[in-house]
Amino acid sequence: MLLNFSKYQAMKTNLKLISLFILTLVLSSTATARNEQTLRIVRGKTDTVFTQSHFITGATVPGSAIYINDLPVKQYSTGSFGTELMLNEGDNEITVKSVRGTTEEIIKFSVYYKKANPQQRAEPVADYPNPVVKTKKGAYLNYGAGEDRLGGAKINFLAEGIKLELIDSVNNLYKVRLSESSYAYIPKQFVERVPLGVKPPFSLTSSWSVSNAGKADRIRISLQERQPYIIYRESDPNRLMVEIHGAACNSNWITQYLDLKAVDYVHFRQTSPDVFTAIIYLKDKFSWGYSVDYAGNSLDITIKHTPAPTLKGMVIGVDAGHGGSATGAVSTAGLREKDFNLTMAFMLKEELEKRGARVVMSRSEDIDVSMQERVDIFKNANVDLVVSVHCNAGGHPLREMGTSTYYRHIEYRPLALTVLKRLLELNVKNFGLIGNFNFALNAPTEFPSVLVEALFMSSLPEEELLASSKFQKDMMIKVVRGLEDYLNDVKKSLK
């Protein structure tokens, strides 16, 4: 019995040793298998893509050196890594390598980038019975089909690529549908017909983001298609309103960052079943410019931050009206408006530069510069403010007619008002503060602007004043003081 018990114990010990040996082999095999599979690609191992920007992310053992196409890539403490690649059209060979001590792992794959050609993209045909047009660069909406010497009353400019149903044709304008119960007019030169049968789109809104873009805050609203919009400023409450026509709310996520400087907060209202209104509450009383455009199918609303309210360091656009073959008004004595405008513009430039401003001129010699070129000059220079200098004409030739200032957008009325008040200190008549004026340099919303109509070339007593260099200089000094008054009002509003 003792011998049998000893044999049993020996057999039991041997079985334990054998089991331990087998378990060791299994664990060793498993560990080897794991070592062979530590490098993983989580995102980016895609056969075909249609965007040039391509992300590669993955994970492996922490502490590894990661290379993608032989370039080092940051690895995080979790073992994750990632990078963004800009693909070339066609096949892109990608090599991901992980090095840990003497162990090296490599994964190779190919991503085919197919560049979309918008010219080859066929318009969807929906057998829509009515004609449709699509906006070009520079398009804008008018309230009605009326005309005057400066054109019809504008609503706002529109981005490119917006499809609108054509309702009617009136002279050089198309009547177009914005939404079920709204329409407007658009110049024919700024649209093109799309193939018959294409239906104007309807969009659902998606997520928003509201972020600080450096010198401006940006609101981006995702849409399925580019839709027409109407934008306007309200002073009480202090907000910017953007009506997106042909759109309904599906926005369940609005990200608002905490470093915003122009935007207080945003909200929305479904004004009607097919009009979605973005409501942007603003921090500052005075507006320094805003713009609307599309990035893909996302509507971008950019609102400039308030600059330091002082002329020192500010960029001021100075426009000398007319020039070249565009003479402007001519006085009884044969004096030309274009010459007065340029002379006074240089005087204004000098006074502004004395106060530390940087001045951008639309023209500095006797040349004809188109209105669009003037607008582009100031937009490209990212000016803070624009003053356009002109002289007026018309009315009674033997009477003083007076000085006046003009604005287009209600948010820039205070600027025109402060300048006019200073000009009236010269003991000249008040011809008026003119609002909603359809002048090309008052039309942009990207910067505050004021048009100064010094005096009337057609008035004999005012012709005499305008012919005086001292009086011209006095007028431009008053314009500068009006700008300083405006900036003081801005400064007070920020307290």
Whether 244 and 279 share a structural domain:
yes
| Domain end call among 254, 285, 304 | 304
| Domain end call among 113, 132, 154 | 113
Whether 275 and 333 share a structural domain:
no
Whether 468 and 326 share a structural domain:
yes
pLDDT of residue 149: 82
pLDDT of residue 83: 95
Q: What is the rounded average pLDDT for all residues in the chain?
A: 92
Is 271 within the bounds of a domain? yes
Whether 477 and 355 share a structural domain:
yes
Check pLDDT > 60 for residue 13: no
What mean pLDDT do residues 351-379 have? 98
Kindly report the CATH number assigned to the domain that includes residue 272. Answer: 2.60.40.3500
Check pLDDT > 50 for residue 27: no
pLDDT of residue 22: 47
Whether 468 and 380 share a structural domain:
yes
Whether 440 and 339 share a structural domain:
yes
Is 26 within the bounds of a domain? no
Is 405 within the bounds of a domain? yes
pLDDT of residue 137: 95
Please give the Cα distance from 97 to 79 (Å, whole number): 14
| pLDDT digit string, tens, across residues 410-452 | 999 999 999 999 999 999 999 999 999 999 999 999 999 999 9
Residue 147 pLDDT class (50, 70, 90 cuts):
confident
Whether 133 and 157 share a structural domain:
yes
Is 389 within the bounds of a domain? yes
pLDDT of residue 150: 85
Whether 105 and 128 share a structural domain:
no
| pLDDT digit string, tens, across residues 72-123 | 999 999 999 999 999 999 999 999 999 999 999 999 999 999 887 655 455 5
Kindly report the CATH number assigned to the domain that includes residue 163. Answer: 2.30.30.40
- DSSP character at residue 50: S
Element of type H or E holding 326: none
Check pLDDT > 60 for residue 134: yes
Please give the Cα distance from 313 to 424 (Å, whole number): 28
| pLDDT digit string, tens, across residues 300-348 | 999 999 999 999 999 999 999 999 999 999 999 999 999 999 999 999 9
pLDDT of residue 148: 81
Whether 290 and 262 share a structural domain:
yes
Is 4 within the bounds of a domain? no
Is 31 within the bounds of a domain? no
**How far from 33 is each of 24, 101, 108, 207, 263, CA to CA, in Å?**
14, 18, 19, 44, 55
Please give the Cα distance from 359 to 364 (Å, whole number): 11
Is 171 within the bounds of a domain? yes
Number of domains in the chain: 4
* Domain limits for position 234: 204-304
Check pLDDT > 70 for residue 125: no
Closest CA to 318 of 284, 342, 286: 342
pLDDT of residue 25: 45
Kindly report the CATH number assigned to the domain that includes residue 343. Answer: 3.40.630.40
Whether 131 and 265 share a structural domain:
no
Q: What is the pTM of this model?
A: 0.81
pLDDT of residue 32: 44
Give backbone dihedrals phi and psi of 483, rounded to 5 degrees, phi first: -65, -40
Kindly report the CATH number assigned to the domain that includes residue 70. Answer: 2.60.40.10
Is 27 within the bounds of a domain? no
Question: 475 and 468 in contact (C-beta within 8 Å)?
Answer: no
| pLDDT digit string, tens, across residues 163-194 | 999 999 999 999 999 999 999 999 999 999 99
Whether 365 and 458 share a structural domain:
yes
Whether 153 and 56 share a structural domain:
no
Q: Which tokens in the block code for residue 202?
A: 């309807």
